[in-house]
Each structure stands twice: as C-alpha cells, then as structure tokens.
Structure 1
C-alpha cells in the first residue's frame, strides 16, 4: 500500500575534486611539466633557506641564501635560466592543450624552448662536474626536443624499424632514466645509513624522483604528437 513518507537517499561518497583553476592548469603535458618545475624550485629554495633560518641573522640570512641558490655562481645562474625556460615551455604545452585539441604550433614552440632549457641545464650540470647527467638530462634531452621541434624525419622515415619522429620523443623519455636511478640509489643509501637530519637528507632525492616521474608522465603524453 503506497505511503506519502519521504525516503532520504544518502549521497554517495565522491572523491574530492581539485579547484577548477588548478584542475585546468594540470591539463595536458604542460601541467605535469610545470608541476614538477614548481616542486623542484620550491623545495630547492626551502632547503637552502632552512639551512640559514636558525642562524643569528634569521630571515635576512635566508633571503641571502635564496639569492645564492638562484644566482650564487655560474652553475646556479645556468640552472635558474633553465628553470625559467622550462616554465615557459610548460606554459606553451599547457596552452597547446587548453582547447582540448592539441595545437601543433604551440607544441613545436614548447619543444624548442624545452630544448633550450636542456642546454642550459646541461651547462649547469657540467659546471658541477656531473658529466653523466649533463649528457642525458642535458644533451640527450635537448636532441630529442630539438628533433621534435624541427620536425626532423617528418616524412615518417624509419630507423631500426622505428619512426624517426617517435624516436625523438622516446629519447626525451629515456633521458629521464639516469636521474631516476641516481635518485633511487641515493634514497636507498640514506635509508640504509645513519642520517643526522632525515628531512634535509631525504628531501632532495625524493623531490628529484617525484619531479622526474611527473616530467616522464608529460613525456609520455607527448608521444606521437
């Protein structure tokens, strides 16, 4: 027999959504690139400033430390230049996907800028005597980005059975692996030893690993684009 009683239906649990603006910024590879850029830059500054925050000069020493991190030498300056260019490149990739349909011209600009940033990064790594990462994160990454930007092999030429345009994209992804391995080895070494300051000791390699995983995700989104 029907009744007029109302039955309240409990809303189903739903996963919290990101703010609309943030969700939009994370659209496409540009979002992953710049998220990694922001995390890396922020943690680097935080660790550098934290070293001096407890000193007598306090905040002023921290600001000086931040200045040293950004432009305290040729290597630091080259890294800062690389970071600025990478942010610019990430913005081009973001705008390329802003309308849902990839914009080839903006992707090409992003590739070119990313190649320029990789050159600056390679110089920074050479100045701190890290030739392996300079060759991979710098030279190999730049070669892949420039090859994609200038459409080398655009007529679908094949090398060892692989389309040349895809090979450039894959080389960018491969260039991430050495840094990921270095970060994992450093984390394992620190976890297996005695750490005086666990936060300071682990923060940078964990941040490096997270950033390279985010950038690798962006690289995979660019495959075949």
Structure 2
C-alpha cells in the first residue's frame, strides 16, 4: 500500500477542509469577504507615507482602514456581520442532507443586517446610489428570504419567475459590478499610458469578490446543486 509523504498530509487536510468550506454558499460569501478585506488592507499599507516608521505606518494604516471615519467604522462592523452570516450559511450546508432551514434563515437575517450596515457605510462615504442598491435592496432581499417560505408564491409575483427575494439580492450587485468594471477600464487605460499596475488591484479584487458572492447567491436559488432547501 502506497502512503503519502508525511509533509503532504497537512496539505491534504487543508485541501479537504477547503472543499468542505466551499460546499455551500457560506464558503463563497466568506471567501469574497476575506479577499476584499485582505487586499483592501494591503493596499492601505502600501499607500502609507514612506516617512513613517514601519511599525507606526502599519498601525496608522490599520486604524485608518478599519476606523478612520464613521463610514469606515460602519463598513468594518458590516463586514463582521457578513462574516457571521457566511458562517451560518456554512453550518446550514455542512451536512450531506438538504441544508438546515433554520440556520439558512439565520444566514439570511445576518446578511440583511450586514447589508443595512453596508448601506449606512456607503451613504457616509458619499455613495448614495450604491447605498440604495448594495445596501437597501440587498437587505430587502435577505430579510424577505428570512421570512419567506421557499416554494410559496409571493402575491403579484408570477409563479414561473425565480424567487423574488433571491432575485433582489442578485440585482443589488449589478450597479457595484458595473462600477468596478468601469474602474477597471480606467485603470487599464492608466496602465497603458505608463502607470503602475498596482491601480488594477482594487477593481480586479472587487470583481473577484462579486464573482464569489454571486456564486453564493445562485447556490441559494438551488442552481447547480443536487439538493434543495427542505421546507418540511
């Protein structure tokens, strides 16, 4: 019998844990959350004034990134709530049977709270359009999913159409995706004119985050998976 080298065992365990994490929407949501958080913080550190001592620069960058203003504080709190929502989704979908409906609803509820915080943050940061879509519309979709029983028809909503609340969450992402795509276009133009490739980091990261979050949204529709949320 052939056994794997001892130094490959931790790698195999990590790969197994990662596959388990990505089984449902929670892994995709929190992967996007972590990606945006880490890259955003790294960019903040990279932009720190050169004159500051190294330790002081990192601390200052950390404070500015997470609590530099009322808007960033609201964004930090919203991100923490989103992480909790992602964990609730992960636990709901961790078993092989249909996802746990109560935990799935908890994920929806926490995501709705996070969306409210995100909307407040975007409003404080001077972006009312994204506050209305990524915040208010997203929260409407998540809270609607919290209290709506899957498979039950919503009044005035055609039964043949996709779930209206899950659809609202998807729709809430479109303006932000468009904004990130436009930002990427401007960044590419800047690079073409001789600018630094670093300007591509944030728009590419945002598009990557939205790809992960959209994948999670679609999983909650039941698209691409063999199991459905049980309403029994």
Same fold per superposition (TM over 0.5): yes
Over 3 Å counting, the alpha-carbon distance change for 1:153 and 1:94 in structure 2 is: closer
**Runs of 5+ consecutive residues of structure 1 not aligned to the other structure:** 1-15
How far is 1:163 from its partner? Answer: 6.6
Report SS of the residue matched to 1:176.
Answer: helix
How far is 1:122 from its partner? Answer: 0.2
TM-score scaled by structure 2? 0.84
Residue of structure 2 in register with 1:122 after alignment: 119
How far is 1:165 from its partner? Answer: 8.1
**Runs of 5+ consecutive residues of structure 2 not aligned to the other structure:** 1-10, 223-228
Over 3 Å counting, the alpha-carbon distance change for 1:153 and 1:99 in structure 2 is: closer
Over 3 Å counting, the alpha-carbon distance change for 1:35 and 1:153 in structure 2 is: closer
Larger radius of gyration: 1
How many Å separate the matches in 2 of 1:137 and 1:76?
16
The worse-fitting range, judged by mean Cα deviation, of 207-216 and 60-69 is 60-69
Out of 91, 98, 111, the position equivalent to 2:94 is: 98
Out of 168, 173, 176, the position equivalent to 1:176 is: 173
Matches within 5 A, 1:11-160: 19-52=15-48, 54-100=50-96, 101-151=98-148, 155-160=152-157
Q: Is the 8 A contact 2:144 2:165 kept in 1?
A: yes
CA RMSD of aligned residues (A): 2.1
Q: Is the 8 A contact 2:85 2:110 kept in 1?
A: yes
Residue deviations 1:131-171, cap 9 Å, x none?
Answer: 11111100000000000102279742343414798100111
Q: Is the 8 A contact 1:148 1:165 kept in 2?
A: no
Residue deviations 1:61-119, cap 9 Å, x none?
Answer: 11221111101110000000000000000000000011022110000000000000000
How many Å separate the matches in 2 of 1:135 and 1:48?
26
Q: Is the 8 A contact 1:52 1:58 kept in 2?
A: no
Report SS of the residue matched to 2:47.
Answer: helix
How many Å separate the matches in 1 of 2:79 and 2:55?
24
TM-score scaled by structure 1? 0.86
Residue deviations 1:20-77, cap 9 Å, x none?
Answer: 1121111200000000000000011101011127434113211221111101110000
How far is 1:209 from its partner? Answer: 0.7
Report SS of the residue matched to 2:195.
Answer: coil
Over 3 Å counting, the alpha-carbon distance change for 1:152 and 1:25 in structure 2 is: closer
How many Å separate the matches in 2 of 1:119 and 1:144?
11
Which structure 1 residue ranges, 4+ long, deviate > 6 Å from structure 2?
none
